[in-house]
Amino acid sequence: MTSSNTPSQIVVVGNGMVGHHFVEQLHQALPSAKIIVLSGEPRLAYDRVHLSEYFSGKSAEELAMTTPELYDSWGVEHHCNAYVDNIDKAAKVVTTKSGETYSYDKLVLATGSYPFVPPIPGHDQEHCLVYRTIEDLEGIEASAKESKVGVVVGGGLLGLEAANALKEAGLETHVVEFAPQLMAVQLDEGGGRLLKNKIEDLGVKVHTSKATSEIVAGENCRFRMNFQGDDYLETDMILFSAGIRPSDQLARSFDLEIGERGGIVIDNQCKTSDPDIYAIGECALWQNRIFGLVAPGYTMARAAVSHLIGGDTEFEGADMSTKLKLLGVEVGSIGDSHAKTPGAQSYTYENQPQGIYKKIVVDEQSNTLLGAVLVGDSSEFDTLLQYSLNSIALPEFPETLILPSTEGAAPTLGADALPDSASICSCHNVTKGDIIATIDAGTTDFAGIKSCTKASTGCGGCTALLKNVVDAELEKRGVEVKKDICEHFAYSRQELFHLIKVNKIKTFDDLLAQYGKGLGCDICKPAVGSILASTWNDYILEKDHVSLQDTNDTYLGNMQKDGTYSIVPRMAGGEVKPEGLILIGEIARDYKLYTKVTGGQRIDLFGAKVNQLPEIWEKLIAGGFETGHAYAKALRTVKSCVGSTWCRYGVQDSVGAAIEVENRYKGLRAPHKMKMAVSGCTRECAEAQSKDVGIIATENGWNLYVCGNGGMKPRHADLFATDLDKETLIKYIDRFWMFYIRTADRLQRTATWMDNLEGGLDYLKDVIINDSLGIAEELEAQMQHVVDTYQCEWKTAVEDEKSRKRFRRFVNSELDDNSVVFVEERGQIRPATEAEKLSDINIIDATETSEA
């Protein structure tokens, strides 16, 4: 709803995550409003939650949450490096340091917070830094190049994130904490102790109960940190991450009410002491509380927007429960984790050999969950959070919620047990009721519900719970949650895979006779053809298989817009001999083909007609080339940098590894095309983290990344395992690819597949690394069968006379196709437009080759 008093011009000071969320929400609610964004930083909003990923290869652009072009399309006026230092409340004008003025009807302060730096003598020297902005990261990166040892002062959430950044930057890393334990706010003593042990096992040294008295010149390093007492620590860099303070200087200077310990005082509508000024995020103080997480800031933003347009949404506090990974260690904290509630009781489970600590805090009657601590395994977090937030009655034996699965263990909390008010997505404040309303409004597919509600589009941690709720609600309405691949098979792709594998079915007709109906269609035929190829690896153009293939697979090349085909010979790892380049050039010249270097380190030849394909393949095969499978839902490429062989930064032979990997997996058919890359160091020149499988060299071996992809919805790959030797690396990749091929839906990329797995990355690690399903040997054996039965499909085609006949343009004639017409552009051919064909201007004769 909107009010007749809706303001026409809103100025937003600050463009962090919360400030951007406010702009986004206001634009959606009131597109006609004039919004002016003034950012004190040199860039627009970016994801501070994942800042440490900057050191594992993520760029500032990839961390960005918006762009100038997006704001322009919304009609949002935006200014960077626009630090506001004056508010004229009477005139309703703000002024920047550079003197620009902006009038407002309503002013929104989203100025966030700044890092607290303890007043330790020597804290203001060069290489004494903070961890807050991208500019801070650039400073850390520059300092790291001149340092070997780094220390983080502060062992809270931000401090451990900062420690991860230093470790990613390659420094010997230490954490110094004043309190006797890490994460003292969120974790109890037992959880803090285990977290310390696990982080130290990862190579980060933790020093608790340490108060730094001064920072002086070191003997072996740049600095020496003297602690109270006789203890000290030498380091080259010091990174302060000892907490935050609200950025309330602007409000303080112009007589807005400030809390006793800082923060701009707000009410439930996020209004300050001036009714025309709002404050949201970490600069705001609500009932003497500062909320240092992004989700409460988002809730404040929505409350402020609601009030501006005459709505009734209020900010009434926020749950500060959190689930995250710190240096790869799973940590969860819910509610009263310290059991401070009168009468509270605790159940604790600790498994020291596996590094797991779990505690739940319940009320005096053991009816209600008050809090929880999870370290080392946070798999129960979602269930425990729902018990806590919705006061759901605990099972008779509450301890079963955290004990390892045994007989009598408590069942997972189902979707039906949740009230409509249950928060499903805390990032975007989406309740079960919101999801139900979306379904009732007519949206019944999972992707559509995510799009409408934004649930699971933040951190993604609620994906599994969201899917459970959606499926349960659809089934209640009598909507069948179908997984059938098509009308001819009442099975999902995964079920068809198992039927084919277990029953040793070798043809589509046999599968149809036993488990299907009708004649098949363009959905099930290619899907089954892919499964058959993945399982048995027979030649795809055999009589029983050829009718299952799409046009590209049928002619072993990618069909182009004018009916010609492209030819992409394999160049494993991007490596090619001069003779190979010369041969490709000669073929392109002789057949008048358009040539282009692809993004996957291949050379693509465009413009070949069907009848020319076999003779071109013969020439390429004679020169040592084979099919690159660019036409198939198969491994397309393994991109590589030059690695340690040539590059002064390389630490491993990335080209050799890429060639080995590509030769192992070439020809592997899958639900979707697959791409891989190998980088010789963390500078990541091969862009491995944008691939389905990415491999990055380290001093100790190889780091493995999985489930990244480009395309319409780009996604960075997730770190899967570190410092692997070659044998283990290949073993994990074998298992990964085969598990994907077994379980993914048709045309489902690896990124979407993993997101839809219940448990996501952690579940995948458990299957691949820990062999939790007991199928590792079977997956490896199946992959080895594919490797052992590889054949170059071009070679098989040209050596088989029956196959060659398929490539005639006319069944009863060897004549060429005169309908293909080219024109010249930039010295090469391209397909002629219809107008150019009619005009006959600049038409190139495509019917002859220089050999003819």
The pair of structure tokens assigned to 39 is 């950012």
712, pLDDT greater than 90: no
At residue 852 the predicted structure's pLDDT band, cuts being 50, 70 and 90, is very low
* Average pLDDT of the residues in 674-695: 93
Comparison of pLDDT for 364 and 424, the residue scoring more: 364
CA-to-CA distance for 793 and 815, rounded, in angstroms?
A: 25
| CA distance linking residue 123 with residue 120, whole number of Å | 6
Flag whether 484 is in a domain. Answer: no
pLDDT computed for residue 755 by the predictor: 80
Q: What is the pLDDT of residues 26-41, one digit of tens each?
A: 999 999 899 999 999 9
What are residue 37's DSSP bridge partners? 12, 78
Last residue of a domain, one of 378, 413, 448: 413
Which residue, of 549, 568, 585, is where some domain finishes? 549
Numbered residues of the known binding site: 641, 647, 681, 685
pLDDT over threshold 70, residue 813? no
Q: What is the CATH number of the domain that holds 74?
A: 3.50.50.60
Instruction: Flag whether 622 is in a domain.
Output: no
Write the pLDDT tens digit of every residue in 606-619.
888 888 899 999 99
How many Cβ atoms are within 10 Å of 847's Cβ, its own excluded?
14
* Residues present in the chain in total: 852
The whole-number pLDDT of residue 806 equals 73
Instruction: Mark whether 293 and 361 lie in a shared domain.
Output: no
| Confidence band, pLDDT 50/70/90 cuts, at residue 438 | very high
Give the mean pLDDT of 614-638.
Answer: 92
**Which pLDDT score is estimated for 468?**
78
Domain-embedded: residue 592 = no
Tokens, residue 128? 């004494």
Q: What is the largest CA-CA distance in the chain?
A: 96
| pLDDT in the model for residue 817 | 58
Report the distance separating Cα 359 and Cα 345, nearest Å.
Answer: 10
Task: Assess whether 703 and 780 both reside in one domain.
Answer: yes
Q: What local confidence, expressed as pLDDT, does residue 409 receive?
A: 40
Based on the fold, state whether residues 644 and 737 are members of the same structural domain: yes
- 3-class DSSP state for residue 416? helix
Banded pLDDT at 849 (limits 50, 70, 90): very low
- What is the average pLDDT across 357-380? 92
Q: Quick check: helix, strand or coil at residue 469? A: helix
Q: What are phi and psi of 162, to 5 degrees?
A: -65, -40
268 & 379 share domain: no
Which CATH number covers residue 728? 3.30.413.10
- Token pair for 403: 């004990």
pLDDT greater than 70 at residue 234: yes
Q: In terms of C-beta density within 10 A (0-12 exposed, 13-18 middle, 19 or more buried), how is residue 691 classed?
A: buried
pLDDT at 46 (0 to 100): 93
Identify the band that residue 276 occupies on the pLDDT scale cut at 50, 70 and 90.
very high
Q: Which residues contact 572 (CB under 8 A, 6 or more apart)?
A: 638, 658, 659, 662, 663, 666
pTM of the model: 0.57
Residue pair 355/326 in contact by the 8 Å Cβ criterion: no
The mean predicted confidence, pLDDT, of the chain is 88
Per residue, what are the HEC states of 252-308? HHCCCCECCCCCEEECCCCECCCCCEEECHHHEEECCECCCCHHHHHHHHHHHHHHH
Which of 225, 242, 259 is at the close of a domain?
A: 242
Note whether 394 and 252 are same-domain residues.
no
Residue 12: its H or E element: strand 9-13
670 belongs to a structural domain: yes
- Tell me the three state secondary structure of residue 371: strand
- Rounded CA separation 63/60 (Å): 5
Task: Please state, for a pLDDT cut of 90, what percent of the chain lies above it.
Answer: 54
From residue 258, how far is each of 109, 265, 301, 487 by CA, in Å? 13, 6, 19, 65
Burial class (CB in 10 A: 0-12, 13-18, 19+), 201: exposed
Average pLDDT of span 750-779 = 90
Tens digit of pLDDT for each residue in 460-479?
A: 667 767 877 888 888 888 77
**Radius of gyration for the chain, computed over Cα atoms and rounded to the nearest angstrom:** 31
Sheet holding 232-235, edge to edge: 212-217, 223-227, 232-235
Residue 165, SS3? helix
Domain hosting residue 455, numbered range: 415-479
- pLDDT score, position 445: 76
Q: Quick one: DSSP state of residue 45?
A: -
Query: Could you count the other beta carbons within 10 Å of the beta carbon of residue 841?
Result: 10
CA distance 395 to 409: 10
Share of the chain above pLDDT 70, in %: 93
Q: What is the reported pLDDT for 492?
A: 84
Cβ proximity of 555 and 565 under 8 Å: yes
HEC sequence for 305-370: HHHHCCCCCCCCCCCCCEEEEECCEEEEEEECCCCCCCCCEEEEEEECCCCEEEEEEECCCCCCEE
- Residue 120: CB atoms within 10 A of its CB come to 19
| Range with the poorest average pLDDT among 367-381, 469-483, 595-609, 662-676 | 469-483
Per-residue pLDDT band for 686 (boundaries 50, 70, 90) equals very high
The number of distinct structural domains making up the chain is 6
Shared domain for 300 and 328, answered yes or no, is no
Provide the 8-state DSSP code for 569. B
Q: Are residues 230 and 154 in the same domain?
A: yes
**Which has more pLDDT, 467 or 176?**
176
Q: Is residue 847 part of a domain?
A: no
Are residues 232 and 270 both part of a single domain? no
Do the strands 34-38 and 9-13 form a parallel or antiparallel pair, or are they unpaired? Answer: parallel
Q: Confirm if 303 and 270 have CB atoms less than 8 A apart.
A: yes
- Residue 250 is predicted with a pLDDT of 94
Confidence band, pLDDT 50/70/90 cuts, at residue 5: low
CATH, residue 447: 1.10.10.1100
Q: What is the mean pLDDT of residues 159-164?
A: 86
Quote the CA–CA distance of 628 and 619 in Å, as a whole number: 15
Known binding residues for siroheme: 685
Which one of 293-297, 583-587, 605-609, 713-717 scores highest in mean pLDDT? 583-587
Does position 486 have pLDDT exceeding 70, yes or no? yes
Helices (H) and strands (E) in the chain, counts: 27, 39
How confident is the model at residue 505, as a pLDDT?
93
Lowest-confidence region among 35-39, 75-79, 284-288, 521-525? 521-525
With cut-offs at 50, 70 and 90, classify the pLDDT of residue 811: very low
The C-alpha torsion from 680 through 681 and 683 to 686, rounded to 10°, is 20
Same domain, 397 and 304: no
Residues placed in the known binding site for [4Fe-4S] cluster: 641, 647, 681, 685
DSSP 666: T
Residue 277 in any domain: the answer is yes
Lowest mean pLDDT, pick from 152-156, 285-289, 393-397: 393-397
Given a contact cutoff of 8 angstroms between Cβ atoms, the answer to whether 11 and 36 are in contact is yes
Residue 645 neighbours by CB under 8 Å, 6+ apart:
653, 655, 656
> Is the domain of 733 the same as that of 665?
yes
pLDDT band at 809 (very low <50, low <70, confident <90, very high): low
- Give the tens place of pLDDT for each residue, 565-623: 889 999 988 889 999 999 999 999 999 998 999 888 899 998 888 888 999 999 999 99
Band of pLDDT at residue 408, cut at 50, 70 and 90 = very low
Distance between CA 244 and CA 117 in Å, rounded?
9
**CA dist., res. 9 & res. 306, Å (int):** 16
Is the confidence at residue 407, as pLDDT, over 60? no
pLDDT at 808: 67
Q: How confident is the model at residue 2 (pLDDT cuts 50, 70, 90)?
A: very low
Structural domain includes residue 525: yes
- Torsion angle, CA of 830/833/838/840, rounded to 10 degrees? -20
If DSSP codes are grouped into helix, strand and coil, which group holds residue 735?
A: helix
Q: Which of 126, 137, 128 is nearest to 51 (CA)?
A: 137
C-alpha distances (whole Å) from 44 to each of 32, 37, 228, 289, 715 are 22, 9, 42, 27, 21
Residue 591 contacts residue 788 (beta carbons within 8 Å): no
Same domain, 292 and 264: yes
Q: Which residue has the tokens 């050596």?
A: 799
Whether 283 and 346 map to the same domain: the answer is no
**Confidence class for position 410, pLDDT limits 50, 70, 90:** very low
Residue 464 forms part of a structural domain: yes
How far is 403 from 409, CA to CA, in rounded Å?
Answer: 8
